[in-house]
Amino acid sequence: MLDFIAAMGPMFWFVMFFAVLALAVVAERLFYFHRISINSGDFLRGLSALLRSGQYDECLHEARQLPGPMARVVEAVLSRPRLQRGELREIALEASEVEVYRIERNVRTLQVCATVMPLLGVLGTMLELVSFYEQPGITDGAAAPPAVAATLQQALMLSAFGIALAIPAYLFYMFLASRARKLINSVERAGLECVHIICDARDAAEEQKAESVPHRKCCSCDCADSASPAEAAQA
């Protein structure tokens, strides 16, 4: 194994640095996505039921208890439930933009690793070949064919090593980028859905209140009208 590493030269350690960095990013992002995963459908249904019954404090408490960007965006909207629909929408979008950085953090680093590792492998191969052919007498045919073949093999091994590590790194990058885009879409949808739920519940409560007020006035008027003939008779 040590002979294999020594044959690839110092460029091997640069490739290994980016490989370890890519592995750390994959592990961190997978753990992050697993930790913040919640059932958005159940969360929004429970939120709607509490808001329609006017339990804003309970909704805010539930949002603060849950982890992840979706709960934080909903919490930002619920902390200002008396604002108009347009203002709440702006708050939801601004909170979603803040969470985009957290969701996409380090994903670009994985793309950089997947791009750089094969380039470093090719660079190491070229440097090995250049250093070999710079030796005296090599270009004049003084080197034995087995020595030339062994040098070519060692040089090409570094390119193959860099490409072999770049392939899974790029595949993980595509998977994590897709997962991040899906999560961002869910977070934005949850924030806007929360805005609609709050405004619809508030409008329904105001309509109920408006319908009950004229009813009481009509009752008072009827009572006044029914009493007027008796008063007229006494007069």
Tokens of 115: 């791009």
When pLDDT is averaged across residues 50-69 and rounded to a whole number, the result is: 76
Read off the pLDDT band of 111 (50, 70, 90).
very high
Return d(Cα 64, Cα 60) in angstroms, integer. 6
Cα torsion 219, 225, 230, 234 to 10°: value is 130
Identify the DSSP state of 38: -
Return d(Cα 108, Cα 219) in angstroms, integer. 69
Amino acid at 7: A
Tokens of 45: 């249904």
Is residue 217 scored above 60 in pLDDT? no
Claim: this prediction has a pTM higher than 0.75:
no
More confident site: 45 or 33: 33
More confident site: 97 or 219: 97
Interacting residues of 194 by C-beta distance below 8 A, sequence separation 6+: 44, 47, 73, 74, 77, 78, 92
Is residue 232 scored above 50 in pLDDT? no
Residue 144's pLDDT is what? 56
Tokens of 123: 């660079």
Return d(Cα 189, Cα 47) in angstroms, integer. 14
- DSSP track, 52-121: HTT-HHHHHHHHHHS-SHHHHHHHHHHT-TTS-HHHHHHHHHHHHHHHHHHHHTTHHHHHHHHHHHHHHH
Assign 140 to helix, strand or coil: coil
Within 13 Å and on the Cβ side, how many CA atoms surround 120? Answer: 23
Read off the pLDDT band of 163 (50, 70, 90).
very high
